Every structure is written in C-alpha cells, then in structure tokens.
Amino acid sequence: MMFDKENWSPKKFSWYYAILMVVSTVLFSFLFLHFNIIGTSNLRYIYVVVIIVGTLVYIRDFTKHRSKRISFTKAFIHCARTGIYTCIALIPVIIAILLIGLPKLDMVDEIGKLNEANYPFGFMFSRFLEISSTFLISSFLGAFIPGMMRGHKTIQ
C-alpha cells in the first residue's frame, strides 16, 4: 500500500514531503498571484511558510511512524535531506520560469532590473539561495520536534 508509512524508508518519506512542498509552493504561488492577493516580490512569504510548516510536519510524521525516538543530529540530517530533495525537485520549476521568461510573468516591472543580460538568472538564483537558507533554518527547528514527542526510545 502506498501510504503504509510504517514501512516507508527515510528516503521515501523525504521525497514524499519534498514533492508535497514543491506542489504546495507552486499551487499557492499561482493562486495568490492569479487572484492578485500578493505581488511577485512577496512570493517569499509563501515559500518560507510552506518550507517551515512542511519541514515541521515532515519530521513529526516521520518520528510518529518510527518505533524509537530520533536524536537531534539524526533529525537535523533527515530534515536537511528533505530540503535537498525539495531543492532538486524545484529545479524543473526554476527552469520552466526561466524558459517562459520573467517579463512574460510580470516579474520584471515590479522589482526592477539591474542588468538586462543576467537579470532572470540572478533573480532565480537569489530565490534559490533564499529557499536553501530557509531549509537550513527549518531543519534546525525541526530537529527539536523528536525530542518533544513522548513515548519513544532514543537512537544514538
């Protein structure tokens, strides 16, 4: 069964939540932009919330389906791996945005241009760095979750 999480490997958990975070980020971004709830310069509010909440839900769910408690270091490594998988899953989205073009997505006028030749790549690279650093922070926060859950034995 696909959702028999008791038998899932840690990598399958990570990939499942990574894909879930990417789909959520793309879906919420599209909806909020389409209905003019936020501007393109404020997209970071969406992915920061999705990443932090997604990482915390991931490690809670992962810990809940393990028979023993997970140490802080192992929890951090699991969260960081999920972040790396999410960044890998985001690469096709970034490529699609670069191929469509930022001007066609109305992202240029709102935030301005510094260098016309390198602007789209630089913009997406800076977003990618923001996402990566958000994952580092959320991995650190998520590493505390297993220690807060009761009824598990610690694995060293």
What is the rounded distance in angstroms from the CA atom of residue 50 to the CA atom of residue 32?
14
pLDDT bracket for residue 150 (50, 70, 90)? low
Residues 6-55 pLDDT 10s: 788 999 999 999 999 999 999 998 898 888 888 766 778 898 999 999 99
Enumerate the domain spans of the chain.
Answer: 7-148
What is the rounded distance in angstroms from the CA atom of residue 80 to the CA atom of residue 100?
30
Q: Is the pTM of the predicted complex or chain greater than 0.85?
A: no
What is the rounded distance in angstroms from the CA atom of residue 106 to the CA atom of residue 93?
17
What is the rounded distance in angstroms from the CA atom of residue 145 to the CA atom of residue 30?
31
- In this structure, what are the phi and psi dihedrals at residue 55, rounded to the nearest 5 degrees? -65, -40
Contact 111, 24 (CB under 8 A): no
